[in-house]
Amino acid sequence: MGWVGQVYFYVCAAVAVLGALATVVSRNPIRGAMGLLLMIVAIAGLFLGLNAQFLAAIQLIVYAGAIVVLFLFVIMLLGPSAVGPRDKRGLVGRTLGGGLFGLTMLAAIGVSFGKVHGLALHDLDADFGSIDAFGRVLFSDGLVPFELSSALLMVAVVGAVAVARGKQGDEAHPPPSGMPGLAARSPLRGALADVQAPRQEGHST
148/146 Cα distance (integer angstroms): 5
Cβ atoms within 10 A of the Cβ of 36, count?
Answer: 21
Nearest of 73, 71, 74 to residue 63 by alpha carbon: 71
143/136 Cα distance (integer angstroms): 10
pLDDT at 167: 60
pLDDT at 181: 46
User: Beta strands of 15-66 (E only): which ranges?
Assistant: none
pLDDT at 193: 52
pLDDT at 131: 77
CA 197 from chain center: how many Å?
53
* Residue 55, Cβ density class (10 Å: 0-12 exposed, 13-18 middle, ≥19 buried): middle
Residue type at 178?
A: G
pLDDT tens-digit profile, the chain (205 residues): 577 888 998 999 999 999 989 988 888 888 888 888 999 999 999 988 888 888 888 888 888 888 888 888 877 777 666 566 666 677 788 788 888 988 888 888 877 776 666 666 667 677 776 778 878 888 888 888 888 888 888 888 888 788 777 665 555 555 555 544 444 444 445 544 554 555 555 555 5
pLDDT at 185: 46
pLDDT at 188: 44
158/178 Cα distance (integer angstroms): 36
The residues near 175 (Cβ < 8 Å, ≥ 6 apart) are 182, 183, 184
pTM equals 0.57
160/81 Cα distance (integer angstroms): 12
Domains of the chain, start order:
1-80+128-169 (1.20.120.1200)
CB 49 within 8 A of CB 12: yes
